[in-house]
Structure 1
Amino acid sequence: MSAVSLNVSLLVAQTSLTLHGLQQLSDHRLLFFFLFLSNFLFALCSDGLILVVILTHHSLHKPMYVFVAALLLNSLLCGCAIYPRLLWELLWESGSVLLTVSACAGQAWVIYAAGGSAFMLLAAMAFDRYVAICRPMRYAAVVSPRAVAALLLFCWLLPAALVGSIVLLAARQPLCHSNISRIYCDVYSLNKLSCSGKAMQMTEVLALFISVVIVVLPAAFVLFSYSSILYVCLCRIRGSSGKALRTCLPHLLVFLNYSACTAVELLQRRLQAADQPASSVLTSVVIIVAQSVLNPVVYGLNMSAITGYIRRLLGSRKTE
């Protein structure tokens, strides 16, 4: 009877979780604080500037730039779910970080839903470029404003619903452990805290299925679309094909960025040893930095239309 009561008390006690990742950064706390702060401010300013340029210039109200704005807004949402609390803990706290299960689940939901939405938005961009280059006569009819709005809602709502279901299942399970060796919460770590082996395995299977739906299938569609675009461009005149391929280059760079970060995340999660939290923390730092820095740089420097308006905007402010 005492053993049963002890197990019950353990289950009840796990109402808060501990992020041990910051312990790995404690020796260089201020260095990482200024690193993350500079990245966050850069993402806010650069993404915000590109969003303002796209929203305020009618010539950029085209499907390609609308999807770019949606992807940057998605990236800002993910950054706002990670950076503020991380910066606060680095500056004022020491050692491990305590947070409630609901707060951890909420952060994991935002991060993973935003990640799934990013892949689906990249698939929508690939579809837009495919129709524009391979089926130009049907572009206005296929990629209409109504179709773009429907694609945006689909790219945001489907990952939010699917990831929300898996996060809810992981958070509602009885927890026997409370330590997460990361600097932010993720679904895999939250599920690993469960006491129920069968429920944990079912949640992992469902998570794998959801990953296929919102990550693998969109990634496969992106590869198929750009392969078709490359084939069509190779069959055309060199000048026109080169211009068409240049419009696809920023999307491909961002796609490679997301794919590399996701692959590293998945491999690290599956191969991580319980006694090696440093590798998990390093992966978290690399993913945060890469996601927040590369996207605005790619779209700000490799899309001539956006770059031209940014230069005019900054130039006019300097003259004032």
Structure 2
Amino acid sequence: MNRKLYKHNSSKEFMFVLRGLNDSRTNKHIYFAFGLVVYIVTLFVNLTLIITIILEKTLHEPMYLFICNLFLNGICGASAFYPKILADLFLDSNIISYTGCLIQMYIIYCYLFSEFTSLTVMAYDRYVAICKPLEYHNVMTHQKVVNLLVFIWIFSLLQVSVATVLTVQTPLCGNDIDKLYCFNWDVVKLSCTDVTVNNVYGYIIMFFLFFQAVFIIISYTRIIRAALKSKTERVKFMQTCLPHLITLINFTISVLLDHMCARYGKGQELQTLRNILGIEFLVVPPLLNPIIYGLKMNQIRRRFMQLYSHRLKEVDQSLN
């Protein structure tokens, strides 16, 4: 059977059909309202803590700057997902242009790689802080922190850029995506030609991710050993490393499950499960991270309360 060739480089751009909603719009208004509230809350809590860290000079330390970067990345990830799905629910639509699809999956992949690279850098920062406390300020200088932040974004952007170029060069024989949003692997599966190069590059990325995972495991093995030897280090571990571990475990497990389900999960009966796994890493970490760090880290919580109670007093005085 001959498959229809979709020439996405033609003058008339074709549209992808996002099949994740299962053509069921019965509760679309409830989903829209719930999604809108969650998106607004996500933006609010992340922006609030970003502003808190920026305004408070006492929080201009490596650990808090990395956390601020994590919040910023969470906003990018959430904003790549929510506006499109909310528009689909509100307008009763499930299509996206080829260009729009590329942009969406580019930002989502940047979010994914930047999140994991950020967590890797944060593991290194905690390792130096707990295992080599006397050397911390000499190792984690301002210039090194800036270099690490630049590395997080450049490394992530380069990985995604290569994957996107490979995808753009792939002719497609379909336009149905079994997801709520565009994802690179789902687009590559629609290819009319051999995708060996895409798969090889995918394994290269997996190698980098595996290397980062090994680095994190080694770092935390040493951190835990150091924490067990000292009560002071145990307290530091519970206050600064536990939120990081919760974030890391939640993000890693959700991404792995979504990857396994996308590659090996078949059948329409698994669509709901694929939807849940597919949005978990886009919805939960951006919402949960600021709550975890805001509640667990005393310095952030204390500075937040001091800053905004002071602002409220100023507003109240001006009104009176």
Structure-2-length-normalised TM-score: 0.90
Identical residues among aligned pairs (%)? 28
Alpha-carbon distance between aligned partners in 2 of 1:138 and 1:12, rounded to the nearest angstrom:
58
Aligned 1:259-270 pairs, distance under 5 A: 259-270=252-263
- Shift of the alpha carbon at 1:306? 0.8
Q: Secondary structure at the match of 1:17?
A: strand
- The aligned residue for residue 197 of structure 2 is 202
- Shift of the alpha carbon at 1:32? 1.3
* AA at the equivalent of 1:89: D
- Shift of the alpha carbon at 1:48? 0.4
Asked if structure 1 preserves the Cα contact closer than 8 Å seen for 2:294 and 2:300, the reply is yes
- Shift of the alpha carbon at 1:240? 4.1
* AA at the equivalent of 1:19: L
- The aligned residue for residue 88 of structure 1 is 87
Does 1:172 find its partner at 2:165?
no
Task: Sort the Cα spacing of 1:285 and 1:124 in 2 relative to 1 into closer, same or farther, 3 A.
Answer: closer
Aligned 1:25-64 pairs, distance under 5 A: 26-64=25-63
- The aligned residue for residue 212 of structure 1 is 207
* AA at the equivalent of 2:211: L
Asked if structure 2 preserves the Cα contact closer than 8 Å seen for 1:20 and 1:181, the reply is yes
Asked if structure 1 preserves the Cα contact closer than 8 Å seen for 2:15 and 2:95, the reply is yes
Does 1:124 find its partner at 2:121?
yes
Matched pairs, number: 309
- The aligned residue for residue 304 of structure 1 is 298
- The aligned residue for residue 190 of structure 1 is 187
Does 1:147 find its partner at 2:140?
no
Q: What is the CA RMSD across the aligned residues, in angstroms? A: 2.0
Write the deviation string for residues 62-82 of structure 1: whole angstroms up to 9, x where unpaired: 000000000110110111111
Alpha-carbon distance between aligned partners in 2 of 1:123 and 1:285, rounded to the nearest angstrom:
22
Alpha-carbon distance between aligned partners in 2 of 1:77 and 1:240, rounded to the nearest angstrom:
34
Asked if structure 1 preserves the Cα contact closer than 8 Å seen for 2:77 and 2:286, the reply is no
Write the deviation string for residues 202-249 of structure 1: whole angstroms up to 9, x where unpaired: 212211211331x3222221221111011012123x244323442211
Residue of 85, 98, 117 corresponding to 1:101: 98
Alpha-carbon distance between aligned partners in 2 of 1:201 and 1:247, rounded to the nearest angstrom:
43
Alpha-carbon distance between aligned partners in 2 of 1:25 and 1:317, rounded to the nearest angstrom:
47
Q: Which runs of 5+ in 1 are unaligned?
A: none
- Shift of the alpha carbon at 1:163? 1.4
Q: Which runs of 5+ in 2 are unaligned?
A: none
- Shift of the alpha carbon at 1:26? 1.6
58-67 vs 216-225, which moves further:
216-225
Structure number with higher helix proportion: 1
Q: Secondary structure at the match of 1:193?
A: coil
